[in-house]
Amino acid sequence: MTQDITVPTLGESVTEATVAKWFKAVGDSIRADEPLVELETDKVTVEVSAPNAGVLTHIMAETGAIVAVGALLGRVAVSTAKGAPPPPVVPTPPAPAAVAVAAAPEHPLSPAVRRIVTEGGLDASAIPATGKDGRLTKEDVVNFQAAPPPPPAAAAAPREERVPMTRLRRRIAERLKEAQNTAAMLTTFNEVDMTGILALRDRYRESFEKRHGVRVGFMSFFVKACVAALKEFPAVNASIDGNDLVYKNHYDIGVAVGTAQGLVVPVVRGADALSFAEVEKTIGLLGHKARDGKLSMDELTGGTFTITNGGVYGSLMSTPILNPPQSGILGMHKVQQRPMVMADGAIQARPMMYIALSYDHRVIDGREAVSFLVRVKESCEDPARLLLDV
Amino acid sequence: MAYDLIVVGGGPGGYVCAIRAAQLGMKVACVEKRDTLGGTCLNVGCIPSKALLQSSHLFEMAGHGFSAHGIKVDGLAADLDVMMGRKAKVVDELTKGIAFLFRKNKVDHVHGTARVVSAHEVVVGDRRLQTKAVVIATGSESAPLPGVDVDEERIVTSTGALSLTSVPRKMVVIGAGVIGLELGSVWRRLGAEVTVVEFLDFILPPMDGEVRKIMLRLLQRQGMAFRLGHSVTAAVREGEGVKVTVEPVQGGGAETLAADIVLLAIGRRPHAEGLDALKLDRDPRGFIVVDRRFCTNIPGIHAIGDVIGGAMLAHKAEDEGVAVAEILAGGAGHVNYDVIPSVVYTWPEVGAVGRTEEQLKEAGIAFTVGKFPFSANARAKCNADADGFAKILADARTDRILGAHIVGPQAGDLIAEVSVAMEFGASAEDIARSCHAHPSLAEAVREAALAVAGRAVHA
């Protein structure tokens, strides 16, 4: 019995994918649920697994092929009830005589060529031949030897390398440029004195971790601070749809995660209803999935606001680009001890973080944007405000 | 019935083309105005001249060479009738051989003068032959010289010089090219006083300079006289003789040479009879213009051989005949014009292929010369025939053979080895490392190849 391997449903508005990699070759035995092939879409890479044990008999879509949802990727001969996989399918080996012919050089080498190749320890097959019917002439060998020796392996890298953009990279490029071209985008800055968050975190680090099984980080504070500010300034949580402004009463916060394949932005849904611990857990889970390339389409779509943390890479200040159709994105940065002037005029070293809000001025007024960012700053500097909703 | 191909001309280009086309499955006719096939080459060119060259060479050997071998000859005489009869028999057998090959390959031999009406119609007498394609292989004819009116009796071309009824006492040859020197050699060996008048300052114009020099010396030693740098302004019959007026090219007084026979051998011009109805593109010298696939400006009409110019050699025409037949059959016919040997059948012979030293210098190609004299070749010594040398020219950097020039016994056959090597892009070292039989004349070629690398063993 054979079973077709087809392209699964990939998610909302995704109709095609690129075959990124086959883990199995034709003739390989496979176990049930073993990944067979990896597909790459605009947003995620998806592994397609074999539903039953058997032997891969056909590959219909080679690596690099673009396949539509439902298209045939390959075919598996499913194991019999006894459980023994059928004998692997191997290509018919060529007749031995043909092998013998192919193994011999196509043309015997001329006497002079034979000498130079032997003396120089050259691989005759590696020398471009210009002679009759592809024969190697002494001229070919002399020219080959006279050619500048290939630079050592370390320097052997080509001056440039041209590779097709992955679907993910193409999609990132399109969306970032779309955001810049569409939105009236600008950025406002502020800074957060992290003393309060750090003190709180230090005080409850152990008990929080013991209780929730997850460490308390900055992200939960900023997510909660943003949700509070979004509630206060609904325009920042809104988007433009045609001639309408769509104000969202749900707070689905995208958290940008850098992965080997590129930037992905999984979404923490209903962040307003989550506890700090739940936010941390959710972000941790999504981050893992992102780095493993296992995020589902649902986990990547539908955010209303985004937080990006360039601080993890050391960024002190940046202007994030919007994640359309969203109207706001908060940029977090590196925490740095800086001399600050206190209310009493004293100068103290304080752990400071610059924060940036890029926003779509078509939707959000400057007053709202600046006030939003001030509100985030205040909530982070004094997390008790979040508790009291002030 | 329509033919796939009509070949106009049954010389080496035409008959080979016809046979090759028939081998490839085409229905072929070959139109030839002569009674016999083989064209100029077989009937009045290469073949009869080589027959006479061989006979006259043996005569000369008997007269001047045998004594050194301890063979005494008394009462030596040449019987010209028998000589000419043998020549005629050779020609007869070879031309009949082609007729046999035509029957074997089912090529229709149409006797008569063709008039090519279009790519699809050729008229021969009252026959209108239909065809899909035409190959013109009408060859060449002796070029005329103003002031020298050929009568083929006393003032002859090569054709007449091959059928003289008696050995002339004095012969003037106009032109020191291959034909002049070969036929001049024939009659000099048989007893004529031969004077060769040449416009240029040297003989054998397209040959390598060193070859020209040594050949001049050797021919002079044999008794041939040369007036180099002279032009013939008139040849006038006077009684049983001819008065030939020659003038130095550089200027100076004219001079009159008396001759029994004058041979006009200044070159050949395209022969394009029966093609007037066609508007074929010709070059200024009258050669039919063709592209690399031998197509003329008229679709369906091809041309090969002497009539398209280039080296006017039978074997070049033959190769073109094969190539055009293969092209017409949908193949990839090709002639490598860089590797066409040329031979002068004097004694010693000259065999040459590829480029000369002069051509390489002009092209600015750095080359190495390997040269070996036959005087150091054992077989040549045994044969008492040790004039000349073998010379190989190779690229100074890559050692690829660029040309070979041999003056010596059997040079025309020895050159074949180098032609094959060059066709395969071989280096001098390739020949040097190929075992050659000992003792053989071919060893001289190998030694020349060794000499390219400065390591000839026997010199």
For residue B266, what pLDDT band results from cuts at 50, 70 and 90? very high
Q: B415 with B349: CB under 8 angstroms?
A: no
Surface-to-core class of residue A292, CB atoms within 10 Å of its CB (0-12 exposed, 13-18 middle, 19+ buried): exposed
Inside any domain, residue A345? yes
| Candidate from B400, B432, B434 with C-beta closest to A137 | B400
Continuous H helices in B240-313: none
Which pLDDT tens digit goes with each residue over B199-258?
Answer: 999 999 989 999 999 999 999 999 999 999 999 999 999 988 999 999 999 999 999 999
Task: Name residue A150's beta-bridge partners.
Answer: none
As a whole number of angstroms, the distance between CA B134 and CA B116 comes to: 8
| Candidate from B423, B427, B433 with C-beta closest to A139 | B427
Domain B155-266 grouped into CATH 3.50.50.60:
yes
Task: Tell me the DSSP string of B239-254.
Answer: TTEEEEEEEETTS---
As a whole number of angstroms, the distance between CA B226 and CA A375 comes to: 115
- Pair A26, A131 in one domain: no
Structure tokens at A339: 């001399």
Instruction: For chain A, state the CA radius of gyration.
Output: 30
Identify the pLDDT of residue A104.
40
Mutate to test the interface with A, among B397, B398, B402 (most CBs of A within 10 A): B398
Across A68-91, b (16+ Cβ under 10 Å) vs e yields: ebebebbbbbbbeeeeebeeeeee
CA distances from B83 to B48, B164, B307 (A): 11, 11, 32
Which pLDDT tens digit goes with each residue over B389-400?
Answer: 999 999 999 999
Structure tokens at B211: 């070859």
Is the pLDDT assigned to residue A156 strictly greater than 70? no
Is the pLDDT assigned to residue A105 strictly greater than 90? no
Q: B414 with B341: CB under 8 angstroms?
A: no
Report, as residue numbers or ranges, the catalytic residues of A: 361, 365
CATH level 3 topology of B339-452:
Enolase-like; domain 1 (3.30.390)
Q: Does B399 touch chain A (CB under 8 A)?
A: yes
- Pair A245, A349 in one domain: yes
As a whole number of angstroms, the distance between CA A329 and CA A305 comes to: 6
| A49-58, A309-318, A372-381: range with lowest mean pLDDT | A49-58
Inside any domain, residue A116? yes
Query: Percent of chain A having pLDDT more than 90?
Result: 37
CATH number, domain of A318, equals 3.30.559.10
Q: How many Cβ pairs within 8 Å bridge chains A and B?
A: 50
- Pair A277, A225 in one domain: yes
Nearest residue of A to residue B420, measured between CA atoms: A132
Nearest residue of B to residue A109, measured between CA atoms: B430
B273 DSSP 8-state letter: T
- Pair A74, A114 in one domain: no
| A168-172, A186-190, B34-38, B420-424: range with lowest mean pLDDT | A168-172
Domain boundaries, position A328? 167-388
The mean predicted confidence, pLDDT, of chain A is: 84
As a whole number of angstroms, the distance between CA B6 and CA B123 comes to: 11
Task: Please report residues of B whose CB lies closer than 8 A to that of A135.
Answer: 424-425
Q: Where in chain B is the domain with CATH 3.30.390.30?
A: 339-452
CATH number, domain of A122, equals 4.10.320.10
Contact partners, residue B198, CB within 8 Å, separation at least 6: B175, B176, B226, B227, B228, B229, B230
Cβ-defined contact of B429 to A112 (cutoff 8 Å): yes
Whether this prediction's pTM lies above 0.95 is answered by: no
Q: Tell me: cis bond preceding A152? Omega within 30 of 0 counts.
A: no
Q: Does B425 touch chain A (CB under 8 A)?
A: yes
- Pair A100, A215 in one domain: no
Identify the pLDDT of residue A150.
59
Identify the pLDDT of residue B339.
96
The mean predicted confidence, pLDDT, of chain B is: 96
Inside any domain, residue A90? no
Task: Please report residues of A whose CB lies closer than 8 A to that of B432.
Answer: 112
As a whole number of angstroms, the distance between CA B373 and CA B376 comes to: 6
Identify the pLDDT of residue A103.
34
CATH number, domain of A63, equals 2.40.50.100
Give this complex's ipTM: 0.72
Q: B254 with B243: CB under 8 angstroms?
A: no
Task: Name residue B238's beta-bridge partners.
Answer: B241
**Mean of pLDDT values over B287-299:** 95
Identify the pLDDT of residue B1.
67
Residue holding tokens 């010396």? B217
CA neighbor of B246 nearest in space, from B238, B237, B236, B256: B256
Is the pLDDT assigned to residue A53 strictly greater than 70? yes
Domain B2-142+269-335 grouped into CATH 3.50.50.60:
yes
For residue B161, what pLDDT band results from cuts at 50, 70 and 90? very high
- Sign of the Cα torsion B311, B316, B321, B324 reads negative
Residue holding tokens 């969306």? A175
| Candidate from B397, B399, B424 with C-beta closest to A132 | B424
Q: Does B336 touch chain A (CB under 8 A)?
A: no
- Sign of the Cα torsion A309, A310, A316, A321 reads negative
Is the pLDDT assigned to residue B171 strictly greater than 80? yes
Q: Where in chain B is the domain with CATH 3.50.50.60?
A: 2-142+269-335, 155-266
Helix axes A218-232, A276-292, angle to 10 degrees: 110
Shortest distance, CA A119 to any CA of chain B (angstroms): 14
Identify the pLDDT of residue A6.
86
- Pair A238, A264 in one domain: yes
**Mean of pLDDT values over B62-77:** 95
Structure tokens at B300: 């369906």
For residue B27, what pLDDT band results from cuts at 50, 70 and 90? very high
Which pLDDT tens digit goes with each residue over A329-348?
Answer: 999 999 999 999 998 999 99
Instruction: For chain B, state the CA radius of gyration.
Output: 23
Inside any domain, residue A84? no
Extended strands (E) in B44-125: 108-111, 114-118, 121-124
Overall number of domains in chain A: 3
Inside any domain, residue A263? yes
